[in-house]
């Protein structure tokens, strides 16, 4: 049974860069203290009231960005996104030019 005004969909919380950094630092400190990575993400996420998968992805991305883990860095992902946008704009411009060319009989 739903409460009036509520939704069955989970809400998406936006975390600040400071919150993300704090969570990653806590996970890394706990791993160093315990000598294991087993359960550290879940423990920190629960302690902070954050989503486990959110914390897990931040820890993973921090490892990639620092060169400790193989993967696409945040900077590389942003550049790909930027290039994809530019590509879409160029395709749109080309389509307009083709239409104009047909219209003007060239």
pLDDT for 49 equals 96
- Quick check: 8 pLDDT over 90? no
Residues in Cβ contact with 61 at an 8 Å cutoff, skipping those fewer than 6 apart: 71, 74
pTM score = 0.71
pLDDT for 2 equals 44
Q: Does residue 70 contact residue 64 with C-beta atoms inside 8 Å?
A: yes
pLDDT tens digits, 35-91: 998 999 999 999 999 999 999 999 999 999 999 999 999 999 999 999 999 999 999
pLDDT for 1 equals 46
pLDDT for 75 equals 96
């Amino acid at each position: 049974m739903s409460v009036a005004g509520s939704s069955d969909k989970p809400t998406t919380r936006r975390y600040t860069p400071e919150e993300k950094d704090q969570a990653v630092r806590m996970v890394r400190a706990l791993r160093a203290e315990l000598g294991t990575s087993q359960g550290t993400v879940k423990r920190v996420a629960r302690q902070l009231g954050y989503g486990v998968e959110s914390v897990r992805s931040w820890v993973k991305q921090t490892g990639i960005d620092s060169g400790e883990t193989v993967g696409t860095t945040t900077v590389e992902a942003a550049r790909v996104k930027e290039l994809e946008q530019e590509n879409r704009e160029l395709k749109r411009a080309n389509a307009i030019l083709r239409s104009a060319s047909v219209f003007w009989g060239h």
